């Protein structure tokens, strides 16, 4: 089993670390939150406080980065005292490489793509500042790890306490009634990471998005209703169509989505 360092043990990373440990991987993780570090300790996973601002601040960076694979899920955030996001990710990538890590999985976002009827890994990229910020971070990792890097670009992330019923509940006159939604469950992101590790599938780019794309008007009222929240309402105002395909990882790695349809994601099925 490979050893893996999970940088960013938040909503996704903590669940991933726990799952990898249960599968027999040697896992260590980082967080800025004392409660998360305490939870890692409860699980028997070595945890290290790590802040990525003007520099990397960690009690024992060598111990944190003693691994075969680096998994990085560090959103841009709004740290006023930090370097630009791409520079911060380059610091992290450089530190990992200097300590012998040669393989990495970096979590980006399908926000890097421009709208389109079918958005695949080779589709045009979005010139917006948000997209460029994510792309700069991707490039920082790619420049360090090269073919040892796999990029994951998930669609809207849901699962656990992050339920789509809360996203638009009660809002009215929303545009894009007929626009398709793009969501992926946390369990499927974790499953994709496990599949990449199992198959040594580095040097890849994979979108992650449930194969079924109900419209906003069909899905979000049902999602709100499942939580007992007021349903959103939609206007006739259109919005750009963006339908993200997450099929490449299926065809390349034989991956199977546990939740292929957003309507099947809990608690809609409860």
pLDDT on residue 89:
97
- Domains of the chain (ranges plus CATH)? 3-159+183-211+244-258 (3.40.50.720)
Tell me the pLDDT tens digit for each residue of 105-158. Answer: 999 999 999 999 999 999 999 999 999 999 999 999 999 999 999 999 999 999
pLDDT on residue 77:
79
Q: Report the 3 state secondary structure along 160-216.
A: CCECHHHCCCCCCCECCCCCECCEEEHHHHHHHHHHHHHHCCCCCEEEECCCCCCEH
pLDDT on residue 1:
77
Tell me the pLDDT tens digit for each residue of 17-73. Answer: 999 999 999 999 999 999 999 999 999 999 999 999 989 999 999 999 999 999 999
Estimate the crossing angle of helix 85-98 against helix 129-145, to 10 degrees.
10
pLDDT on residue 203:
98
Tell me the pLDDT tens digit for each residue of 157-213. Answer: 999 989 999 999 999 999 999 999 999 999 999 999 999 999 999 999 999 999 999
Other beta carbons less than 10 A from residue 237's beta carbon: 10
The larger pLDDT score, comparing residue 245 to residue 83, is at: 245
Could you tell me which residues are beta bridge partners of residue 156? 183
pTM over the 0.85 mark = yes
Estimate the crossing angle of helix 34-43 against helix 13-22, to 10 degrees.
10
pLDDT on residue 51:
94
What is the band of 267 on the pLDDT scale with cuts at 50, 70, 90? Answer: low
Closest residue by Cα to residue 56 from 16, 96, 17: 96
The burial class, CB within 10 Å (0-12 / 13-18 / 19+), for 182 is buried
pLDDT on residue 269:
62
- pLDDT of 230 > 70? The answer is yes
pLDDT on residue 80:
59
C-alpha–C-alpha distance, residues 210 and 252, integer Å: 16
The larger pLDDT score, comparing residue 100 to residue 81, is at: 100
């Amino acid at each position: 089993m490979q050893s893996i360092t999970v940088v960013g043990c938040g909503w996704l990373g903590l669940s991933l670390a726990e799952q990898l440990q249960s599968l027999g991987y040697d896992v260590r993780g980082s967080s800025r939150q004392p409660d998360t570090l305490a939870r890692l300790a409860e699980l028997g996973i070595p945890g290290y406080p790590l802040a990525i601002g003007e520099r990397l601040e960690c009690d024992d960076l060598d111990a944190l980065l003693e691994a075969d694979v680096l998994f990085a899920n560090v959103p841009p955030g709004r740290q006023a005292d930090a370097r630009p996001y791409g520079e911060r990710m380059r610091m992290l990538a450089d530190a990992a490489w200097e300590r012998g890590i040669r393989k990495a999985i970096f979590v980006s976002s399908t926000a890097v793509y421009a709208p389109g009827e079918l958005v695949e890994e080779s589709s045009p990229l979005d010139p917006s500042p948000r997209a460029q910020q994510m792309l700069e971070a991707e490039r920082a990792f790619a420049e360090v790890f090269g073919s040892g890097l796999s990029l994951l670009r998930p669609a809207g992330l849901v699962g656990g306490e992050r339920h789509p019923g809360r996203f638009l509940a009660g809002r009215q006159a929303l545009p894009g009634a007929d626009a398709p939604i793009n969501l992926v469950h946390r369990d499927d992101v974790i499953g994709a990471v496990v599949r990449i590790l199992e198959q040594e599938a580095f040097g890849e780019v994979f979108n992650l998005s449930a194969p079924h794309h109900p419209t906003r008007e069909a899905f979000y009222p049902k999602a709100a209703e499942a939580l007992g929240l007021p349903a959103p309402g939609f206007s006739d105002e259109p919005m750009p169509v963006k339908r993200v395909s997450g099929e490449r990882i299926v065809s390349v790695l034989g991956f199977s989505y546990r939740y292929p349809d957003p309507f099947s994601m809990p608690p809609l099925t409860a």
